[in-house]
Amino acid sequence: MDFSHTAEDIAFRDELREWLDENLPKFLADWGGDEDPGGGRQAGIARTQQRRQDWQRRLNQGRWAAINWPKTWGGREATPVQNVIYSEEMARARTPGIYNANGIWQIGPMIIRWGTREQQDRWLPAILSADEHWCQGFSEPEAGSDLANLRCSATRDGDEYVLEGRKIWISTAHIAQWGLFLVRTDPTAIQRKAKHEGITALVVDMRVPGIECQPLRDITGDAMFNEVTFTGARVPTSYRLGEEGQGWQVAMGTLGHERVGTSGLSITLATELERLIATTRKHNPAALDDPSIKDRLARAWTQINLTRLLNYRALSKVLKGEKTWPEVPLAKLQWSSLSQTLAELGCDMLGPAGILTRGGPDAVDNGHWTHQYCWQRYTSIGAGTTEVQKNILADRAIQLPRN
């Protein structure tokens, strides 16, 4: 596969670099370099969200917020190669996160794919402009890795659905105005052993009565996950995405966007490794003379580059219109493993200074590495549980015999 950039790709990269060179310094001057400068955990989270909202709005003004969206909706209809370029350049510049990642990368494309024109006009502009925040509600207490086992019900009552049940581990639900939820509209499907049927995708206004969001504090001390309880919450049938019972197809498209995007996050790992080495040179240079550390760094560098090539292999299939199997699940596993490897390396290489948490005057990188050490455990679950991914690959890709 020839990955040489075309003239269009080079122009895309040059335009993005020029925009970042002009706009990122202005943004950092307005907000400062750190997402969380201290002042209390909840205050830090609120400031981070405001900062990301502002950054997404600036990206949108330059048509860099949703590069995969159609041009008619403010996107650039970027090619797969241009997606790689975008990720590489954003990682190189160490840009902030965006406010509405779920909306931009997953939910927006599904509204474009499955939504009516009225639905598109209603929801897409505010996703793009960061005026409204969105969450995605799939997982339940009994339906995590086995998503099709979901039981949160939606009963038709005239022109509305009435929602009952619980969702869990729903990121940012407590600050979201809208959410895309999977619900069961056919309660007999599980008993019929046809649990992939009878699932419907609904857009839910998170502000209506009958919805309670309970933030769940994670190991880092933050509370961005939620348990969401529906008790007689009413949703207009006009908020249904796709037809009734078509939710599984909608979900697979959404998860496809999520997992391709997640596997692409490995592009940023090389920048994270470079950052770690530079930080260690500054704060604990003796660690770089340790033979065991050198060996771990070499292994991490090698795995990062192997993962980059794996992503390119998946990209070549995208360009040919082929299924990205098994490259995408393999890349997701690599991203999970390497994210945790780098987090562990960060604490080991920086020594006592590396485990100082946010807000302290001596915390290295504002506590980035000790935060990552705890936070990156989620990569074993997010976008596909590691154990389930391995079982699927063993069964379908390697075709290991069953005991």
Return d(Cα 335, Cα 268) in angstroms, integer. Answer: 10
Collapse the DSSP code of 164 into the 3-class scheme (helix H, G, I; strand E, B; otherwise coil) and give the result: strand
> What residues have CB less than 8 Å from 374, skipping those under 6 apart?
218, 219, 220
Supply the DSSP string of 336-403, one letter for each residue: HHHHHHHHHHHHHHHGGGGGPPTT-TT-GGGGHHHHHHHHGGGGGTTTS-HHHHHHHIIIIIS-PPP-
Nearest 5°: phi and psi at 134? Answer: -120, 150
How do the residues of the chain divide into helix, strand and coil, expressed in percent and rounded to 5?
A: 55, 15, 30
Return d(Cα 217, Cα 226) in angstroms, integer. Answer: 9
What is the number of H-type helices and E-type strands within the chain?
12, 8
CA distances (Å), origin 356, targets 221, 287, 364, 366 = 14, 17, 7, 8
Q: What is the CA radius of gyration of the chain?
A: 22
Pick the catalytic residue: 258, 327, 344, 387?
A: 258
* Active-site annotation holds for 258: yes
H/E element, 137: strand 134-137
> What residues have CB less than 8 Å from 203, skipping those under 6 apart?
111, 119, 123, 178, 179, 180, 181, 235, 239, 240, 241
Contact present, 106 and 257 (Cβ < 8 Å): yes
H/E element, 304: helix 291-320
Q: Looking up tokens 């790709």, which residue turns up?
A: 9
As beta bridge partners, residue 205 has 178
Active site residues: 258
